[in-house]
Amino acid sequence: MGWLRVMQQREPFAPDESLTELWAEAVRRWPGASPFDLAVFAARAVPLPGLAFAMGYQAALRVLWPSAPAGLGAICVTENRSIRPSDLATRVQGTRLSGRKDFVTAGDQAEWLMVAARCESLGQPPRLSMTVVYPGEPGVRLEALPSAPIMPETGHARAWFEHALCALLPGDGWDDYVKPFRSVEDLYILAALVSWLLGIAIEDPWPQTLQLRLLAVLGGCAEAARQPPLAPATHLLLAGLFAHFEALAPEVEHAFDISPRALGPVWRRDRALFELARGAREKRLARALAVLG
């Protein structure tokens, strides 16, 4: 249970470092850590919840692609607010990628991009491959988007690909990457933000019962991280973790109100992140319950 070392961690990252520098420091400080441990250790060390989110997101990418480069990465799927294969227009032919992605988390600073692209032959059902390209290479163009109202520390970008040279990752783009990432991302971001809260709770300190409840959620996240991301039981466990975390909201709010640090307004702004994917989580839970009875 390496993640339990998060309780003893007391060396924060420098508050003025960029997202690129923070992730590089995390990789340097915890070499060989599993993606889950890296998410919770790095999130514990950053000063703001938006940066904790970014640490969880980067770690989640390594679950999809364990041999990913050390630098900041991003996954590019969404087109016109949809991730359904039939709605995507970006295509890969051989090793050349063309198309556009509208909303790429951390895309403004990413050093590599995983790009979902259509690859089926004419007249065949939609099928995706997962490709890899590198910003700065010919045919790859990124445009930074305005800061989001939630977690503005993690930037976003729009991406264009014009006959860009790419590499293909093994497996099916939908079944092996896009579909599992929705669950993996939810889990790793929850773990990262709970780890960040636990750090505040230990240092301020917050009531011990609240610390223990946060630790219990983090332990549940560690167990979920060991399960297959598409398994119905995993979705059931993840729904339970979110329900338990949401039940702690009044205690967390009160703790921030009496905390010596003025982080309450930042947390109240950024906790809205959990609402963005609620609909998708509820659908996964309904399917899991139907399977498990």
Q: Are residues 148 and 284 in the same domain?
A: no
Q: Which of 147, 168, 189 is the last residue of a domain?
A: 168
pLDDT above 80 for 1: no
Q: Are residues 193 and 272 in the same domain?
A: yes
Residues 142-157: pLDDT tens digits? 999 998 888 998 999 9
Rounded percentage of the chain residues whose pLDDT exceeds 90 = 83
Residues 223-269: pLDDT tens digits? 999 999 999 999 999 999 999 999 999 999 999 998 888 899 999 99
Q: Are residues 60 and 182 in the same domain?
A: yes
Q: Are residues 127 and 265 in the same domain?
A: no
Q: Which of 136, 168, 200 is the last residue of a domain?
A: 168
Q: Which CATH number goes with the domain that contains 102?
A: 2.40.110.10
Mean pLDDT within 197-217: 94
Give buried/exposed letters for 130-169 (b at 16+ CB in 10 A, else e). bbbbbbeeeebebeeeeeeebbebbbbbbbebeebbbebb
Q: Are residues 155 and 77 in the same domain?
A: yes
Q: Which of 125, 147, 168 is the last residue of a domain?
A: 168
Give buried/exposed letters for 20-53 (b at 16+ CB in 10 A, else e). eebbebbbeebeebbbbbbbbbbbbbbbbbbbbb
Q: Are residues 79 and 38 in the same domain?
A: no
- Structural contact between residues 248 and 235, judged by C-beta atoms closer than 8 angstroms: no
Q: Are residues 266 and 229 in the same domain?
A: yes
Q: Are residues 148 and 242 in the same domain?
A: no
- Write out the residue range of the structural domain in which residue 209 sits: 2-64+176-292
Overall number of domains in the chain:
2
Which among 190, 239, 236 is positioned nearest to 214, based on CA atoms? Answer: 190
Question: At 100, which helix (H) or strand (E)?
Answer: strand 96-105
Pair type for strands 96-105 and 156-165: antiparallel
Q: What pLDDT score was predicted for residue 79?
A: 96
> Would you tell me how many other CB atoms lie within 10 Å of the CB of residue 101?
24
Q: Are residues 56 and 23 in the same domain?
A: yes
Q: Are residues 267 and 224 in the same domain?
A: yes
